[in-house]
Amino acid sequence: GNTTLSRMPGAFVTSPLRSPVALADDLIHETYHNRLFALEEHGPFFENESARTDACHYSPWRSDPRPVFG
């Protein structure tokens, strides 16, 4: 498993993996989360604050709606 925390810019956690390709995939994935969090620091993605904190949104990688900070 891996995770990126929006309140800890530039930081993420990943599990040790035997495959360097899988590790590279995790590093890229979590780096992009950090880039999105950095973009949001310049201004919100949504006009309505409740859409940011309460609503779930479409994700092309999952079948279930996800919160923005999920």
Whether residue 33 contacts residue 12, with contact meaning beta carbons closer than 8 Å, is answered with: yes
Q: What is the pLDDT of residues 4-48, one digit of tens each?
A: 777 777 778 888 878 999 888 888 888 888 888 888 788 777 677
What pLDDT does 27 receive? 87
52 pLDDT tier (thresholds 50, 70, 90): low
pTM > 0.95: no
pLDDT at 49 over 70: no
65, 59 contact by CB (below 8 A) = yes
- C-alpha span between 20 and 35 (Å, rounded): 22
What number of residues does the chain have? 70
